[in-house]
């Protein structure tokens, strides 16, 4: 009797889900794949569709629209003040205009940046910033671990909380799944306000496990911000035996752009807590600040595919070079096409990825791109001096970017990301020198690295490529 009811019910739900997939899938290929699977194998496909089928974080979309009365006036006031104080770059190229419209954010002037290469330098700067805090500290990471580095961070935050500095601590519930409850409880007992970024928050989102908040942000008193690729764990300061030297990049910024980073944090905090902290929003020039900078916050709640389009625009803009460093190379079709076209018009296209993998499936999938990139002049490099995790790109001598976005579909469409674009020649030269040093510690990839592999390796590569949309 139960089977007679359950079987047609599951089949009916499969049909409904198939219709939903056809109406909402990003590509026709995805719609066909989901539609056939849900109708043919609903028992299994329904589970996978509930987890992986969504391409928009609906709850965040709704909250973003409903919060307008709550915090939209904050950013509107900041923009008006920036115009009044002439803190916004008045003249922009067509390319820059496209990025500002994509980011829904202006290019601000009078900023100052400090490039932070690798974990020791990064966390020394972050800890010095925390020690200097007088009013508040905002902390957000994708991964936080209860190890030596994690405990150092906790101890410093607790010390500042005891000095009556307000501390807000946000972490991704999936990325930081290993973080024990007593780590959080100890901070809460000291007056630190903590929250997980719950992608499963809300009745309609219980199975929404495929989205992540991948941002890494520390803000001190609204005056300085730290963004980049580092999470909080001993491996990020090269203390993990498996990875050895961990190559990563962060940046410290001061000036008006800090408030745009802060606004990004507040949106995530409001989703997690339904609360808006009392923070400073007064715009200030950085001391000796001469840099123009843009913040591109992207994620699955955007109306456009912001992260993917940012890369496409940067690549299309390049006239001489586009250098990209990413731990993963699983680009979507439009980014891959942009890279190919850049190479065909004579642009120096370089992609730097690690030799040593941290995720085997993504590592295997990257081999599948060799045959249609290397022959047309796209240069691939494998970093050999440890593991490389930085997310950096360089466009000609016009723009350099440091952030959290990888060159993969997960960053393009499933993760909340943050990228800082800097237009200052001095900063761009530092990025160029840094990447040249990285290339000197890398090997050039040859097509034979893939073609001479065994049949079974190639089969594994092609199988991994099938998972590219969720990698």
State the CATH number of the domain containing residue 168. Answer: 3.30.870.10
Residue 59: its pLDDT value, please?
64
Q: What is the mean pLDDT of residues 253-277?
A: 93
Q: If pLDDT is split at 50, 70 and 90, which confidence band does 62 have?
A: low
Residues 239 and 152 in one domain: yes
Residue 166 lies in a domain: yes
Q: Catalytic: which of 145, 201, 250, 389?
A: 389
Query: Pairing relation of β-strands 217-220 and 224-228?
Result: antiparallel
Task: Note whether 141 and 116 are same-domain residues.
Answer: yes
Element (H, E) at 417: strand 415-422
pLDDT at position 123 over 90: yes
Q: Among 262, 293, 324, where does a domain finish?
A: 293
What's the structural domain count of the chain?
3
Query: What average pLDDT does range 186-203 have in this prediction?
Result: 85
Q: Reply yes or no on whether the pLDDT at 98 is more than 70.
A: yes
Please indicate, yes or no, if residue 101 is contained in any of the structural domains: no
The predicted structure's pLDDT at residue 258: 97
Q: Could you say which of 293, 328, 353 is where a domain stops?
A: 293
Domain of 46? 2-52
Which of 245-249, 294-298, 460-464 has the weakest average pLDDT?
A: 460-464
pLDDT at 369 over 60: yes
* pLDDT at res. 351: 98
In angstroms, the CA 22 to CA 40 distance is: 15
Q: Which of residues 340 and 71 earns the better pLDDT score?
A: 340
Q: How far is CA 111 from CA 107, 279, 290, 292, in A?
A: 10, 20, 6, 6
* pLDDT > 60? residue 202: no
Sign, CA dihedral 361-365-366-367, equals positive
- 292 in active site: no
Residue 55: per-residue pLDDT: 59
The answer as to whether 81 is a domain residue is: yes
pTM above 0.85, yes or no: yes
Whether residue 125 is found in the same domain as residue 170: yes
What pLDDT is recorded for position 359?
A: 86
Cα–Cα distance, 145 to 177 (Å, whole number): 9
CA distance 238 to 307: 29
For residue 241, give the nearest of 362, 386, 385 by alpha carbon: 386
For the chain, percent of residues with pLDDT exceeding 90 = 68
* Least confident window among 6-15, 308-317, 437-446: 6-15
Say yes or no: 142 and 241 in one domain. yes
Asked about 198 being catalytic, the answer comes back as: no
Residue 450 lies in a domain: yes
pLDDT of residue 242: 84
* pLDDT for 52: 63
Cβ partners under 8 Å of residue 335, min gap 6: 308, 311, 312, 315, 407, 412
Q: Which of 223, 259, 391, 430 is catalytic?
A: 391
Q: Among 145, 160, 216, 223, which one carries the catalytic annotation?
A: 216
As a whole number of angstroms, the distance between CA 83 and CA 94 comes to 20
Evaluate whether residue 411 is within a structural domain: yes
d(CA 35, CA 14): 9
The predicted model gives 226-245 an average pLDDT of 94
- How does pLDDT run across 124-166, given as a tens digit for each residue? 999 999 999 999 999 999 999 999 999 999 999 999 999 999 9
The verdict on whether 73 is a catalytic residue reads: no
Asked if residue 298 belongs to a domain, the reply is no
Active site residue 389: yes
Whether residue 64 sits in one domain with residue 25: no
Annotated catalytic residue within 214, 223, 230, 259: 214
Q: How many helices and strands, by DSSP H and E, does the chain display?
A: 17, 20
| pLDDT, greater one: 12 or 418 | 418
Same domain assignment for residues 32 and 161:
no
Active site residue 332: no
Structural contact between residues 318 and 338, judged by C-beta atoms closer than 8 angstroms:
no
Task: Clarify whether residues 236 and 362 are in a common domain.
Answer: no
Active site residue 230: no
Asked if residue 299 is part of any domain, the answer here is no
Euclidean distance between the first and the last CA atom of the chain, given in angstroms as a whole number: 42
Q: Choosing from 221, 234, 348, 449, which is the catalytic residue? A: 221
Domain boundary among 293, 317, 345: 293
User: Considering 147, 348, 396, 449, which one is annotated as catalytic?
Assistant: 396
Of 233, 244, 230, residue with least CA distance to 386: 244
> Which pair of tokens denotes residue 382?
């494998």
Cross-strand bridge partners of residue 123: none
Are 181 and 316 within one domain? no
pLDDT score, position 1: 59
């Amino acid at each position: 009797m139960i089977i007679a009811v359950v079987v047609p019910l599951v089949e009916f739900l499969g049909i409904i889900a198939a219709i939903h997939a056809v109406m909402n899938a990003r590509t026709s290929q995805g719609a066909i794949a989901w539609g056939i699977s849900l109708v043919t194998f609903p028992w299994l496909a329904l589970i996978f569709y509930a987890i992986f089928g969504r391409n928009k974080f609906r709850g965040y979309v709704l909250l973003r629209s409903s919060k307008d009365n709550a915090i939209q006036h904050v950013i509107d006031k900041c923009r008006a003040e920036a115009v009044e104080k002439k803190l916004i770059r008045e003249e922009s190229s067509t390319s820059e205009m496209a990025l500002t419209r994509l980011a829904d954010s202006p290019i601000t002037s009078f900023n100052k940046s400090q490039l932070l290469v690798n974990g020791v330098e990064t966390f020394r700067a972050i800890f010095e910033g925390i020690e200097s805090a007088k009013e508040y500290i905002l902390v957000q990471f994708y991964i936080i671990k209860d190890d030596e580095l994690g405990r150092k961070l906790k101890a410093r935050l607790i010390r500042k909380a005891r000095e009556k500095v307000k501390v807000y601590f946000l972490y991704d519930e999936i990325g930081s799944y290993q973080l024990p409850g007593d780590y959080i409880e100890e901070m809460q007992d000291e007056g630190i306000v903590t929250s997980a970024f719950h992608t499963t928050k809300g009745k309609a989102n219980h199975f929404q496990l495929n989205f992540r908040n991948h941002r890494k942000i520390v803000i001190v008193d609204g005056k300085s911000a730290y963004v980049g690729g580092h999470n909080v764990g001993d491996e990020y300061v090269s203390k993990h035996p498996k990875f050895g030297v961990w190559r990563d990049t962060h940046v410290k910024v001061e000036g008006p752009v800090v408030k745009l980073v802060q606004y990004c944090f507040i949106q995530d905090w409001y989703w997690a807590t339904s609360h808006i902290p009392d923070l400073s929003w007064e715009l200030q020039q950085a001391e000796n600040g001469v840099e123009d900078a843009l913040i591109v916050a992207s994620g699955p709640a955007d109306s456009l595919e912001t992260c993917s389009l940012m890369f496409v625009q940067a690549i299309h803009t390049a006239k001489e070079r586009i250098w990209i460093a990413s731990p993963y190379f699983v680009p979507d079709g439009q980014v891959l096409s942009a890279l190919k076209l850049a190479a065909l018009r004579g642009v120096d296209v370089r992609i730097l990825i690690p030799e040593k993998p941290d995720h085997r499936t993504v590592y295997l999938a990257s081999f599948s791109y060799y045959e249609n990139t290397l022959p047309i002049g796209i240069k691939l490099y494998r970093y050999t001096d440890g593991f490389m995790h930085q997310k950096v790109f360089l466009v000609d001598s016009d723009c350099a970017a440091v952030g959290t976005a990888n060159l993969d579909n997960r960053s393009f469409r499933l993760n909340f990301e943050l990228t800082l674009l800097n237009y200052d020649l001095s900063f761009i030269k530092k990025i160029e020198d840094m990447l040249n040093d990285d290339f000197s510690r890398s090997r050039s990839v040859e097509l034979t690295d893939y073609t001479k592999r065994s049949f079974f390796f190639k089969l594994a590569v092609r199988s991994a490529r099938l998972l590219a949309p969720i990698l």
